[in-house]
Structure 1
Amino acid sequence: MVVAGTAVLVRRALRRRIRTSPLWPMPALEEVRNRFPPVEAPSYVFVVGGIGITPVLPMLRALGDGRPWRLLYGGRTRASMPFLEEVEKLGGDRVTVVAEDEDGLPDLDGLLGDVPEGAAVYCCGPEGLVAAVEERFPQVRLERFAPRTAADGNVAFEVELRRSGRTLTVPADVTVLAAVRAELPDTAYSCEQGFCGTCEQRVLEGEVEHRSELGGTSHALKAVGEDTERGDSMLICVSRARSERLVLDM
């Protein structure tokens, strides 16, 4: 039994400080507030990439030592993986961490080859990870969130990267993040779906159409304990311009 998702929109959980919220820990798995269907199973396997740990962590807390579980947690670097220290303390040897800069891509065949019969497998992370898990578990049930595309009325606009001295055009079918990374490959990002806050950038000029699933800019940062909500910033992985031109502090 497999449940997967690329963006679990845990609005109630994400609007609180994850570490101190009275919602956690949960006494039972079915009480966890996320959009994974609650599943009773003899054991659990979690496959997570980057910010995908956010909806999974409360499930791990709820399970505790009551039922067998294990976690495969991947990311670009250990430093970029949210809640890593807590996850390792919580799970001990039940947690396998794969940092791409140290270990390369995770060996899913090796790591998932001995999934116990009847185990519920949960996956949350980038599309590539979810697709790879789906390939190995054909019965996977998916819950996807897709950013708006040109069919939703997108138009092209211009973005000036003020500190870099560059100006670029963002086509209707390309995100600001993708366009910026073509010029600045080291631009930080993670979820690409508007809730982790990693890609947030300061807007110097222009009008932004905020498309974060959390209702605007910086809410994602508040969700993980940051108190830096600003009206002059945007999540460049999903948000776009209302004006013909934006100027970013990049």
Structure 2
Amino acid sequence: MHEAFAEGDTLMFDGPRNAFYLVTDERDVLFVIGGIGVTPILPMIRLAHQHGIDWRAVYAGRSRGYMPLLDEVVAVAPDRVTVWADDERGCFPTAEDLLAEAGPTTAVYVCGPSGMLESVRVARGRYANAPLHYERFGPPPVVDGVPFQLELARSRRVLDVPANRSALGVMLDRDPATAYSCQQGFCGTCKVKVLAGEVDRRGRAAEGQNEMLVCVSRAKSDRVVIDA
């Protein structure tokens, strides 16, 4: 920035986006925490407690020493927090263990390692009407992907995007400086203009008719041409 801008320049910024937040209308809530996933969930627990929400939490980790902010979580309401330390229990928790206090309509918030998140997500899939909120620390797996070609109009290069990879991932192979941030389709950093082709829009950030979030969205047609 120090090379691109000078004193007196005006910069325009969007406000911060948060796609993982407590829905205070939900009155029956279970928080499932793993490792650094405590970072976004601890403020939710405090807010839930302030709002009189019937909440419970289960915090799982290798040992208590590997569970950041554990004391702070327990301090909110010790009788509402279950601590699952693998070295004390002698095993890793299953999805059933993590969801033991969740009923068919309980709203579940989960943040932690990908294995934990996926096991909870699959287990809760049987309750179609039960809210499930989660945040990943990396790109989600590609679901129902089909291969397509991505043409970069400025360089006239054509990239082959396989069924199991994102367009962003393939673009980063070519140019590691490609702009991105969340890799989950809500921050909008990787949004590009679409010049030709149809887009299967999968992002949570707004995508206009001629826009594409290359971290998650894919092509409906065999080829998409973008302004990149």
Please give the TM-score of this superposition, normalised by the length of structure 2. Answer: 0.48
Please give the TM-score of this superposition, normalised by the length of structure 1. Answer: 0.44
Between the two structures, name the one with larger relative contact order (CA 8 Å, sep ≥ 6): 1
